[in-house]
């Protein structure tokens, strides 16, 4: 009982990988998920409790049953375009649901909280290396909801002694190297799985949105981090909290970036397959370059991303997809 960690969204992409590393680190991950976007067969490393963050009574039941030492909170709606069309769903699910979760944790005297945030809270600060103290300027309800939850955790830290480690992700990619779990969303919006689906004939050609940016090859540059490197940081953050070191905020990226064409070229090399592409127009709001400054995570937490090169990220994802784990 002493090592239980409540993992909301533990049936999703990042949450399921976090559950694997938590188990390897000696914790028991308890997945809490409504399965709206997660997959039951991704829950392999600890107990599963189905429920919704908006159901406070269900949350109270789970806290009482497992008495977790901490919460690792991944559950959220996360489609930027959808959040522009139906913002109410994002404020309701992400913000009201997180408030329910924080209050339930607080009532259960579970005061350690690891939160999955996003670099989207910084908005469109094109070409700037984004640091933890960079200006927050969210441009949509998804980013705004994550920013609001960060503020909520800070407020509960003042009022009730809630301690939190907040991780702001850049572009997460790859899969479990042992191919037990991997990345699959419906709808899928991430570059690497979209590219692999195109190679496999599971979808149409990959569209490059904009080829005239002020970058080396005209395509957007993004900072990619391997999902296993990312979840390793979460275990370090959890241990930081359990060692009573207090609240902290960290960006998680590599400090460098890859263009869309570089990702395509590496995918062709890794898979030995041509990537079918269509060159399209720019999308509104797409910055030319978004790169993290991650020195704080390295110097404070001792986090070093060891797998976050394109060959390994694409290779691990390709192995998982080739094994037939994707869902039609």
Q: Give catalytic residue positions.
A: 142
Which tokens belong to 157?
């830290």
Which tokens belong to 189?
């919006």
CB-based contact 157:115 (threshold 8 Å): no
Which tokens belong to 322?
């080739």
Nearest to 323 by CA among 177, 143, 172: 177
End-to-end Cα, the chain, rounded Å: 38
Helix segments in the chain, DSSP class H: 13-24, 56-66, 80-85, 87-90, 97-107, 141-160, 191-199, 227-242, 260-271, 295-296, 310-322
Give the CB-side neighbour count of residue 234, counting CA atoms within 13 A. Answer: 33
Cα 195 to chain center, whole Å? 19
What letters, b where the CB count within 10 A reaches 16 and e where it falls short, cover 95-112?
bebbbbbbbbbbebebbb
- Sign of the torsion angle spanned by Cα atoms 33, 36, 42, 44: positive
What DSSP assignment string belongs to 122-170? G---TT-EE-TTSPP---SHHHHHHHHHHHHHHHHHHHH--EEEEEEE-
Measured CA to CA in angstroms, residue 13 lies from 32, 152, 154 at distances of 14, 25, 26
3-state SS, residue 313: helix
Token look-up 């959040």 returns 83
């Amino acid at each position: 009982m002493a090592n239980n960690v409540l993992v909301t969204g533990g049936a999703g992409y990042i949450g399921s990988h976090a559950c694997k590393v938590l188990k390897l680190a000696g914790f028991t991950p308890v997945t809490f998920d409504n399965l709206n976007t997660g997959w039951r067969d991704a829950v392999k490393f600890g107990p599963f409790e189905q429920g919704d963050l908006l159901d406070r009574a269900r949350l109270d039941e789970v806290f009482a049953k497992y008495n977790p030492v901490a919460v690792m909170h991944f559950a959220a709606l996360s489609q930027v375009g959808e959040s522009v069309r139906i913002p109410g769903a994002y404020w309701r699910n992400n913000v009201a649901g997180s408030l329910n979760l924080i209050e339930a944790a607080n009532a259960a005297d579970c005061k350690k909280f690891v939160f999955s945030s996003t670099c989207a809270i910084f908005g469109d600060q094109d070409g700037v290396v984004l640091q933890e103290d960079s200006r927050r300027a969210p441009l949509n309800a998804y980013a705004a909801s994550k920013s609001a939850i960060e503020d909520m955790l800070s407020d509960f830290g003042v009022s009730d002694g809630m301690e939190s480690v907040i991780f702001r992700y850049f572009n997460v990619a790859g899969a479990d190297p042992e191919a037990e779990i991997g990345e699959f969303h419906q709808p899928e919006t991430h570059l690497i799985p979209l590219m692999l689906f195109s190679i496999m004939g599971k979808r149409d050609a990959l569209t490059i949105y904009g080829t005239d940016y002020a970058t080396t090859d005209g395509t957007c540059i993004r900072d990619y981090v391997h999902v296993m490197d990312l979840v390793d940081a979460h275990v370090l953050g959890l241990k930081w909290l359990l060692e009573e070191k207090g609240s902290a905020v960290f960006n998680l990226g590599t400090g460098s970036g890859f263009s869309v064409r570089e990702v395509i070229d590496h995918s062709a090399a890794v898979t030995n397959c041509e990537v079918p592409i269509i060159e399209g127009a720019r999308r509104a709001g797409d910055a030319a370059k978004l790169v993290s400054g991650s020195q704080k995570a390295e110097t404070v937490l001792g986090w070093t991303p060891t797998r976050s090169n394109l060959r390994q990220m694409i290779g691990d994802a390709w192995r998982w997809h080739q094994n037939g784990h994707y869902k039609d």
